[in-house]
Structure 1
Amino acid sequence: MITIQQEFFGIFEKELVTEMEQVAVIKKFMAGEVIIDIGQYIKFMPLLLDGVIKIIREDKNEGELLLYFLEKGDTCAMSIACCVGAKKSEIRAIADVDTTVAMIPNQYLDGWMGKYKSWRNFILESYSNRLNEMLTTVDNIAFSQMDVRIMNYLKEKATISQSQSIDVTHQIIATDLNTSRVVVSRILKSLENQGKILLQRNNIRLL
């Protein structure tokens, strides 16, 4: 199992890594398992040691929209805000694949900001990266047609998994992009006819 030392050595000060290893709770989540839910008070900040987490926003009609993915070495800026402000979560974090997370208790976050430069830079960079990803999501919704959004989604999944072969169902894509399975299936078939993808059972290969 990957450790905090393995993932963050050279990124954080040695003293900070030691503190993290002393206070963090390491948890494993199976693919599809909810890590943080909407309306939940967050007592720990997640540091992703292995796997992929997708961050989802839910509207009043319980429709879901994928905001961004977290990869190994990332944390969720939105959960940090809830941790520091003692607010209820407005997002749902779900393990996209089997995932290992270091859960850092809230009471250490603020102190580390003043004590460790690397931690402060990490948090600020995380905010910046997540903001840019959410702006990309907004741009896709506002300005891109669904076929472009689906291709961008598949390319991001391929980048994260480091494979052109993506294990995903039409329904999962529809849920993540807040559209219908019928629309997704029609567009995927069109993309296949254009020679951009190859459709297989519960798998899509980028060409």
Structure 2
Amino acid sequence: MVNLESVNQILNELIAEAPLREEILSLGRLRKVKAGQTVISPNQSAGEMPLVIKGLLRVMRHDEKGNEVFLYYLEGGHTCAMSITCCLEGKKSTFHVVAEEDTEMWMMPTAYLDSWIQKYPSFRKFVFQSYQMRFDELLQTVDSLVFMNLDERLYNYLLDKKQATGSFEINKTHQQIADELNTSRVVVSRVLKKLEKEEKIEQHRNKIEIL
């Protein structure tokens, strides 16, 4: 269970100015979500920006037909650069954020973001670093879509999941992976079988182990 001490620890690592840390604590609130629960829906107007304290969020991009593709994960100490843009420009979200596991976030009111960016250098640095980190991850996603075959995309997806969770076990069904990579379950099953023959993974019931 996360308490204010845990929130303070994250803020101390990110924010140098004590007055800003106090503002974030006094104006924000703790939000808990269960695995699989939606945090931000497409076309949603955001009044708060989430800062992950504990857990893992999955950010997806969707099109008008409802198809989705995985973009990146958000872990402890991270926020979503796409949500910052929507907050600052008053736009509705064009992405989907789902809790990959039970997650706890500190929700910061968007009405203060612009003034915090202008007033506090460390918050401005945090925002810019968030943009840069997500931009790099988006470039990797684009590279995988354009330059990699599905075998490489799927294996990189599994490695990203391992790095984000710190676990060699991926608790996903073939259908869930197919949905996130915007392909079919049959194709995912075929590629996973190929990776298993190459001794890169082992498959279990609703679980994949990276070797």
TM range (shorter): over 0.9
The answer on 1:10 being equivalent to 2:16 is no
Supply the distance in 2 between the matched residues of 1:110 and 1:27 (Cα, whole angstroms).
22
Give the 3-state SS of the residue equivalent to 2:13 in structure 1. coil
Measured after TM superposition, the shift of residue 78 of structure 1 is 0.7
TM-score, normalising length: structure 1: 0.97
The Cα shift of 1:14 comes to: 2.1
CA deviations over 1:97-151 (Å, ceiling 9, x no partner): 0011111111110111122111000000001111111111011001100010010
Task: Report how many residues are paired.
Answer: 207
Q: How does 1:68-83 map to 2 (within 5 A)?
A: 68-83=72-87
Offset at residue 8 of structure 1 (A): 2.1
Gaps of 5+ in 1: none
* Displacement over 3 Å in runs of 4+: none
The gaps in structure 2 that reach 5 residues or longer are: none
**Percentage of pairs with the same residue:** 43
State the TM-score, normalized to the length of structure 2. 0.95
Are 1:104 and 2:104 counterparts?
Answer: no
**C-alpha deviation, 1:177, in angstroms:** 0.5
Distance 1:52 1:10, change over 3 A: closer
Q: Deviations over 1:49-89 (max 9, x none)?
A: 11111111111221110111111111011111111111111
1:144 matches 2:148: yes
**Quick one: distance in 2 between partners of 1:158 and 1:184?**
18
Superposition pairs of residues 5-84 of structure 1, within 5 angstroms:
5-12=8-15, 13-84=17-88
Letter in 2 for 1:203: K
Partner SS state of residue 27, structure 1: strand
Q: Is the 8 A contact 1:26 1:101 kept in 2?
A: yes
Cα distance between partner residues in 1 of 2:119 and 2:13: 17
Cα RMSD after superposing both structures? 1.0
